[in-house]
């Protein structure tokens, strides 16, 4: 029996695993940049998935490029432009979008800033707090509609409509996809931090349901806090992340094996996460020293 088909299958399987890994680590970054380039959530989502589909086929043949994220953004953008240009034959209102091919790609620093733009867009004050939370978890964190609905114990259809309305509000109100100016930053950053803290609070002390906590939501809030700190290391961001880490450090000691709440004075402190405590203390001290 020839070994060539087996070898080809092995290479294809390896490429598929690598594409899956790149999707998990890079898809939200690719998505954020495509929103800037294409100006539309749905169009950017479709372009991102198209790019990964092309990658699975082309990388199996040509190998993975040196910069997978830039490659995915480029392919996704041009496939979206081709689609838009075909549609302009029937819809003249899309003629402006058809000129997107003239938009130049930005450098790596600009690509990183796209994630911060996306966070501020999802947390815009014009949206309701519920819409801000849902949109941030869906578009920034990449959680599915079902995962978010289950976490907040609402119907997926209700959550989906909330996200649809939020995107329509962003489109109709022409909410800019940008980081606020220095003058507007304090107010806008407060909205972002409120969303992160709302998500963490729901994970730390669930408002309803059969469990006292929801670890996945707390983890997402801390991940968001780390992302915002990486892109915007303001004292308020440092302080919030430090607070969340200090609270999260006691998770395993807060409930009994039966799921009952254990008060602070009765908790087994050997169960506290010392690494989170140490990191939280450093962040809080850095935050206080900045003010």
Give me the pLDDT at residue 8, please: 57
**Confidence bin at 91 (pLDDT 50/70/90):** low
Q: Say which residue, 11 or 17, is predicted with more confidence.
A: 17
Q: What is the pLDDT of residue 116?
A: 84
Q: Does 15 reside within a domain?
A: yes
Residue 86 lies in a domain: yes
- What confidence category does residue 280 fall into, taking pLDDT thresholds of 50, 70 and 90? very high
| Residue 59 counted as domain residue | yes
Position 13 confidence tier, pLDDT thresholds 50, 70, 90: confident
Over residues 101-117, the pLDDT tens digits come to 444 445 444 555 788 88
Contact 45, 61 (CB under 8 A): no
Q: pLDDT at residue 199 above 50?
A: yes
Query: What's the mean per-residue pLDDT of the chain?
Result: 84
pLDDT of amino acid 9: 58
CATH code of 51's domain = 1.10.1740
Does 127 fall in a domain? no
Residue 232: pLDDT over 70: yes
Q: What is the pLDDT at residue 98?
A: 46
- The span from the CA of 39 to the CA of 67, in Å, is 23
- What is the span of the domain harbouring residue 76? 1-103
Q: Quick one: average pLDDT of 71-94?
A: 77
- pLDDT at residue 102, rounded to an integer: 45
Q: Is residue 88 over pLDDT 70?
A: no
Average pLDDT rounded to a whole number, residues 229-234: 88
From the list 102, 32, 127, 109, the residue with the least C-alpha distance to 73 is 32
176 found inside a domain: no
Number of independent structural domains in the chain: 1
Residue 6 falls inside a structural domain: yes
Question: What six digits make up the tokens of 199?
Answer: 């998500």
pLDDT tens figures, 135-186: 998 998 888 898 888 878 889 999 999 999 999 999 999 898 888 887 888 8
Whether the pLDDT of residue 28 is over 60: the answer is: yes
Answer whether residue 2 shows pLDDT above 60.
no
Task: Please compute the mean of the pLDDT values over residues 123-131 and round it to a whole number.
Answer: 91
- 222 is a domain residue: no
Helices 235-248/185-204 angle, 10° precision: 0
Evaluate whether residue 99 is within a structural domain. Answer: yes
Q: Which two tokens stand for residue 93?
A: 């209102």
What is the Cα–Cα distance from 105 to 108, expressed in whole angstroms? 9
pLDDT higher than 50, residue 52: yes
């Amino acid at each position: 029996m020839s070994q060539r088909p087996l070898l080809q299958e092995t290479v294809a399987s390896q490429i598929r695993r690598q594409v899956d890994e790149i999707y998990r680590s890079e898809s939200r970054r690719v998505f954020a940049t495509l929103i800037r380039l294409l100006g539309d959530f749905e169009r950017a989502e479709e372009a991102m998935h198209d790019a990964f589909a092309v990658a699975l086929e082309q990388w199996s043949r040509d190998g993975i490029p040196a910069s997978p994220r830039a490659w995915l953004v480029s392919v996704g953008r041009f496939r979206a432009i081709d689609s838009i240009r075909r549609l302009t034959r029937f819809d003249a209102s899309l003629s402006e979008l058809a000129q997107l091919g003239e938009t130049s790609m930005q450098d790596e620093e600009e690509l990183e800033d796209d994630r911060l733009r996306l966070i501020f867009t999802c947390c815009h004050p014009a949206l309701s707090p519920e819409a801000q939370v849902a949109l941030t978890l869906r578009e920034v964190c990449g959680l599915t509609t079902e995962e978010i609905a289950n976490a907040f114990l609402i119907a997926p259809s209700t959550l989906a409509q909330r996200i649809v309305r939020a995107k329509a509000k962003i489109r109709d109100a022409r909410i800019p996809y940008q980081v606020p100016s220095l003058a507007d930053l304090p107010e806008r950053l407060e909205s972002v931090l409120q969303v992160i803290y709302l998500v963490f609070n729901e994970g730390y002390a669930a408002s309803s349901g059969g469990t006292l906590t929801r670890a996945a939501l707390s983890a997402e809030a801390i991940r968001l806090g780390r992302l915002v700190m990486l892109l915007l290391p303001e004292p308020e961001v440092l302080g919030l992340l430090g607070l969340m880490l200090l609270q999260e450090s006691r998770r395993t000691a807060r409930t009994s094996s039966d799921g009952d709440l254990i008060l602070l004075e009765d908790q087994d402190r050997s169960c506290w996460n010392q690494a989170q405590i140490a990191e939280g203390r450093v962040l809080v001290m850095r935050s206080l020293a900045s003010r």
